[in-house]
Each structure stands twice: as structure tokens, then as C-alpha cells.
Amino acid sequence: MEPSSTAGELRRWLTTCGGFIHPFVSLSQGEFGLSAIAQDTIDADTTIVSCPFSLAIDLECSLHALTALFGDATLVDLQSWSERQLICTYICLHWIFPDSSPIPDVLRHLPYLKSLPPADALLTPLQFTSSELEAFRGTNIYGATLDRQESWSAEWNKCRTFIHAVNADWAERYTWDKYLIASTYLSTRAFPSTLLSRSPTLQTTSSSYPFMLPGVDILNHSRGQPVSWCTSYPEGSTQERDDSATISIISHTKTPHGEEVFNNYGLKANDELILGYGFSLPQNPDDKITLQLGGSSNKWVIGRLASGAEGLWNEVRRLVAETPEEIGYEDDLEAAQLLLEMVQKKCDLLPNLPDENDAGVRPAVRLMLKHYLEGQRDILTSLKLHFEKRQEAAVEAAMGEGIELVFDDE
């Protein structure tokens, strides 16, 4: 028996519509939404959850529903909307009808949406207070949050203006708060549309877009968790996209009784986890920092232990050398000095962690910032050591040529 009515309703709705949740999996309501808990030992290589393509909240589902509600004459205009505008507006329309009136049949996902975390449990940076966001000033998360808010707000305004021409009452209820919640659901629970193919993959492409898979998104993230995605098509089906097909998650590890069943979202750094999902990982080995020289189109993604630094090093060496084909120790010294200064500036820009007793920053937000800063400072420290070794190697090369270098004391 499910511990909450929304969890039970979700399971009934999903199974009635052709989905599947393993009978040993209980949907437990936690602070940040539902989790999948093993009520008995679940063996390895077991299908945990399945969802038919017909239940996916994707471009086709959303466009069909909005056209039915707004009228066939709106199809051309709706086709100019982004995938996020279509999907988020489809979600929002579930919430604009009064409780006393039934919602249209084309809005099919209310049991699923009821199971998602309430607004006050969402914790991406767009749900931060002003003082919490200010604590991230100096990080790439700060600027990315402002950019995202501006972009999503512009999308919402465009959609609301369009809806007002169709139905002013609907437009009145189509608020920014609702659009933000829908957009956050899409951000925190989306999968790439590349999964809706006969060879499902989590790798995005230039034509893929985020979409939602009810039930499948219950499973939380655990780095390195061995899982497989599997699609099943009816016998004789040859279509690339068949709504009667299902997509499943298979867990390849045994889950003991009482333990949570996890998915694996892929290798993600803490800045991506915080901005997109609203959580972080301690000592995240996938943390990274992106560095770009002024006037250059190259963006160098550097990981822990200065992985990926060679491309940046070589670019700077070529820039400072009078003859890029003949780079000497003087060029290496100059390049090392420039890069050490760049690293120091990045360190200086990072904010300090707020005090634990700071009432203006919630503990969960402070923890995300703590995890993020640890990763950034570790990477920058490894870069500093990397370029200092380059500097030492240049000094040794000069000595090998009989030249003793004298540096001014700082």
C-alpha cells in the first residue's frame, strides 16, 4: 500500500494507461517528492519502471492538446513556439480550471502532476531568495540564473499574450508562478527526446529536446548507478515512433529491502546539478570549470587534477610567441605567468561561504554552495600547481641553455 494518496493515484493511473512499477517498489513521499523504496529485495537485472510512449509529455502531446483547446486555426502560430513553451503551457493548463469544473480530456496528466513536489519544495536557483542568489555572486551559476530567468520570463510573456487573444480568463490564470513551476518540473525531471527511438540514448543531439516520462522520473540520481534503458515495440511495428511502445529502466544491481532504487542521470558537475535539478554532490568528481581567453572563441573545460588544461596551455603559448612554430622558454614563462594570473583572478572572484547561522540562506542552499565552491577551488588549485610546474620547466630549460633567470621579489 502506498504511503500517500498521490502516490497511490499515480501508480493506478500509470498502470491503467499501460505503464509498470515493480510490485516490490513503494513510492515514498519525502521532503522533495516521491522516492522509490524497495519493500523486499529486488534482484539485479530487474525492470523497475516502464512508461508507454503514449504517456510522454513531449512536443507531439503538447501541440495536439493546445491545438484542440485553442482551435485548429492556431496551429501555425503554435508551431513557432519552442518545445519548452509548448510543454510548459500544456502543463500549466492543467492548473487553470476551477476545481468545480472538469478539465478537458486532452489534458491527461493531472494524476502525474499531482505527484510532483509542491512549489515550496523546488530548490533550483530560480527558487532562491534574493539573498541566497546573492551568495552565489562570482560563480557561473549566478549569471546563468539571471539569463535563465530573463529567457523564461520572455517565453511566458509571449505565451500569455497569445492565450489572451484566445481566452482572456485563461490568460489571467496563466501566471508567471505557474510557468516557473512547470519550467522547473521540465528542468528537474526531463529526459532527452533521443530516448524515444528504437536505440534509446541519453546523449543529446542538435535536434533533441527535453521531455517528461511519468513514473520513470521517480528514480533519483546516483552517480555511477548501473542501469539500462530498454524500448519494447509491438510485434510487427516498424515505425520509428510508436505510441504503443514502452520504455523501461532496468537496474543492474541488487537493491536490499528498505533501500532506495536509483537511476543514473549521467556524469554531471555540481553547477549543472544545482542549476538544472536543485541539488549537489559532495566531492563531485565530475566538477569542472570553463575558461576562455578574451577575444578567443575557444572554451576550455577543465576538470579536477587539471584535466583538460593542455589545450588552454597550448593556446596561450601560441598567442604569446612571436613565432608560434618556434616556442621557447621565454614564451613558456610568459604563458605560465598569464595563466597563473588568470587562475588567481578566478579564485578571487569566488564568494565566501555564508555563516551557518545566516538566516538569509537556507541550509540546503548553503550546502549546495559549499559543494560547488569545494569543487571550483580544488580545480583552480590543481591548475595553479599545473602552471607552476610549467613555469619551473621553463626555468630549467633556460638553465640548460646557460641562462640564469632572476625574478623580482613580490
Give the span between the Cα atoms of 224 and 49, in whole angstroms: 19
C-alpha distance from residue 296 to each of 112, 300, 301, 343 (Å): 46, 11, 14, 17
Q: Which sign, positive or negative, has the C-alpha torsion 170, 175, 181, 183?
A: positive
Specify the pLDDT at position 400. Answer: 82
Q: Name the average pLDDT for the chain.
A: 92
Give the span between the Cα atoms of 263 and 222, in whole angstroms: 6
In DSSP notation, 263-307 reads: E---S--HHHHHHHHS---TT-TT-EEEE--TT----EEEEGGGT
Specify the pLDDT at position 202. Answer: 76
Specify the pLDDT at position 233. Answer: 86
Q: Quick check: helix, strand or coil at residue 255?
A: strand
Lowest mean pLDDT across 38-52, 199-213, 341-355: 199-213
| E strand or H helix that includes residue 340 | helix 329-349
In DSSP notation, 354-396 reads: PPTT-TTS-HHHHHHHHHHHHHHHHHHHHHHHHHHHHHHHHHH
Give the span between the Cα atoms of 204 and 192, in whole angstroms: 6
pLDDT-derived band at 295, boundaries 50, 70, 90: confident
Average pLDDT over residues 216-226: 90
For residue 193, count other CB atoms closer than 10 A to its CB. 19
pLDDT > 90: percent of the chain: 75
Higher pLDDT, residue 239 or 398: 398
Per-residue pLDDT tens digits for 237-256: 777 677 788 999 999 999 99
Higher pLDDT, residue 206 or 36: 36
Specify the pLDDT at position 204. Answer: 82
Specify the pLDDT at position 1. Answer: 45
Give the span between the Cα atoms of 232 and 78, in whole angstroms: 31
Q: Which sign, positive or negative, has the C-alpha torsion 387, 392, 393, 397?
A: positive
Specify the pLDDT at position 119. Answer: 93
Location of C-alpha cell 588567481: 344
Please check whether residue 199 is in contact with residue 59, taking contact to mean a CB–CB distance below 8 angstroms: no
Specify the pLDDT at position 408. Answer: 63
In DSSP notation, 176-195 reads: HHHHHHHHHHHHHH-EEGGG
Per-residue pLDDT tens digits for 315-373: 999 999 888 778 888 999 999 999 999 999 999 999 999 999 999 999 999 999 999 99
Give the span between the Cα atoms of 255 and 237, in whole angstroms: 34
pLDDT at 265 over 50: yes
Please list, in sequence order, all residues whose beta carbon lies within 8 angstroms of the beta carbon of residue 34, skipping any fewer than 6 positions away: 6, 7, 10, 27, 28, 115, 218
Lowest mean pLDDT across 27-41, 145-159, 276-290, 395-409: 395-409
Per-residue pLDDT tens digits for 141-178: 999 999 999 999 999 999 999 999 999 999 999 999 99
Please check whether residue 353 is in contact with residue 377, taking contact to mean a CB–CB distance below 8 angstroms: no
Picking from 50, 19, 52, 58, the residue whose alpha carbon sits closest to that of residue 245 is 52
| E strand or H helix that includes residue 8 | helix 5-16
Specify the pLDDT at position 2. Answer: 53
Please check whether residue 49 is in contact with residue 228, taking contact to mean a CB–CB distance below 8 angstroms: no
Please list, in sequence order, all residues whose beta carbon lies within 8 angstroms of the beta carbon of residue 248, skipping any fewer than 6 positions away: 20, 47, 48, 49, 50, 51, 229, 230, 231, 232
Specify the pLDDT at position 231. Answer: 87
pLDDT-derived band at 205, boundaries 50, 70, 90: confident
For residue 75, count other CB atoms closer than 10 A to its CB. 13
Specify the pLDDT at position 407. Answer: 62
Give the span between the Cα atoms of 357 and 343, in whole angstroms: 31
Highest mean pLDDT among 139-153, 196-210, 390-404: 139-153
Q: What's the gap between Cα 284 and its chain centre?
A: 15
Per-residue pLDDT tens digits for 54-94: 999 999 999 999 999 999 999 999 999 999 999 999 999 99
pLDDT-derived band at 297, boundaries 50, 70, 90: very high
In DSSP notation, 14-48 reads: HHHTT-EE-TTEEEEEETTEEEEEESS-B-SSEEE
Please list, in sequence order, all residues whose beta carbon lies within 8 angstroms of the beta carbon of residue 234, skipping any fewer than 6 positions away: 242, 244, 245
